Structure 1
């Protein structure tokens, strides 16, 4: 299992991740723009904005980030703790465990980029993203 911080921005993700890359002497591992995803995610004026990017730095550290246009961003709701489960069974257990007493913001289900993904705000107000690959170990 792996745990990272996931940052959300309201249109300046590329500028921010470039800044963090320089500060942390990092390497951008991947970038997906909204135009690279399904058409329903690509609205006018955001096609070149960041749907997802990952930057590695230090010893095993990663920052993940995106431009999020689904809700107004306020300091405090602009980050998630991102869990990459070892398999679907572990991912499901973590997701539904965090959901107990909390609120689902996206159901844990198959996603277009592969595997399963879901997000939840736990009973303490912490925002979580849980992903799992297609295979069980």
Structure 2
């Protein structure tokens, strides 16, 4: 079994998923719009360019997202990224924090070589957690 975070955006899914792919060193492997779907004729013209589904692959991990209609725009999700090295944690944290807000600076803790929390420029919450062996 695999658990995958599915993020909903208010019309910014394309930019957000491209940003996450670049920041995390992954790639967008799926993306289609409402206008490309069988329900395109039922969608308002303005919504047809919105992303109905998008997927970013980072190694064996996935993040999925879309421009979700209400009520999916509401709610809070935190994505926990667990890099293998402190250097990778620092790179990812810097990239995700660009244009966003650092809630907890990336630093060493008793459980992690590096831990930090931020809200990215799309309003999504992230933790970067490079764990120490326990």
Q: TM-score with structure 2 length normalisation?
A: 0.51
In our comparison, the structure showing a higher alpha carbon Rg is 2
Q: What secondary structure, in the 3-state scheme, does the structure 1 residue paired with 2:45 have?
A: coil
- Structure 2: 5+ residue stretches without partners: 79-134
What number of residue pairs does the alignment pair up?
A: 77
Query: Is 2:49 the partner of 1:53?
Result: no
Contact kept? 1:10, 1:67, Cα under 8 Å: yes
* Alignment-derived partner of residue 64 in structure 2: 64
CA RMSD of aligned residues (A): 2.1
- Distance in 2, matches of 1:70 and 1:44, equals 17
- Structure 1: 5+ residue stretches without partners: 80-137
**Structure 1 residues 61 and 74 mapped into 2: Cα distance closer, same or farther (>3 Å)?**
same
The structure whose RCO (Cα within 8 Å, separation 6+) is larger is 1
Deviation at 1:36, TM superposition (A): 1.3
> Runs of 4 or more off by more than 4 Å in structure 1?
none
* Alignment-derived partner of residue 22 in structure 1: 22
Pairwise mapping of residues 115-134 of structure 1 onto structure 2 (< 5 A)?
Answer: none
- Distance in 1, matches of 2:66 and 2:36, equals 13
- Distance in 1, matches of 2:45 and 2:57, equals 30
Pairwise mapping of residues 84-123 of structure 1 onto structure 2 (< 5 A)?
Answer: none
